[in-house]
Amino acid sequence: MPLLLTVLSVLALWSLLAVLVFGLWLMRNVLESVRRRLEQVVIVVRTVETQTEPLGALAAEFAQELTSTVGELAPLGRALDGIARGLTALRQSSDGR
């Protein structure tokens, strides 16, 4: 009887170890899949960084150009305001006839 219990205990232990190894193997496969996916994400991020790197200098230059354009358009805005006032005055004078 003690021999049978010893054999059953050893079999139970090996079964437990087999289940644990199988579970760890499954987790390893899932983690490898996650690692592969993260490597793909890193590749895409590096590609985007490489492609958008020149935009940094261009963005600063664009902001400067836009600021100068706004400054250059200020006289045009004042001239258009003067024209609008003149047209308003002309319309009011023609309505008064």
pLDDT digits over 25-59, tens only?
999 999 999 999 999 999 999 999 999 888 888 88
Query: b/e string for 7-20 if b means 16 or more Cβ within 10 A?
Result: eeeeeeeeeeeeee
- Angstrom distance (rounded) from CA 43 to CA 37: 10
Could you read off the pLDDT of 9-21 as tens digits, one per residue?
Answer: 999 999 999 999 9
Q: How far apart are CA 32 and CA 12, in angstroms?
A: 30
pLDDT, residue 95, reads 79
The yes-or-no verdict on residue 22 having pLDDT over 80 is: yes
CA–CA gap between residue 60 and residue 54 (Å, rounded): 11
Highest mean pLDDT among 16-20, 61-65, 78-82: 16-20
Q: What is the pTM of this model?
A: 0.50
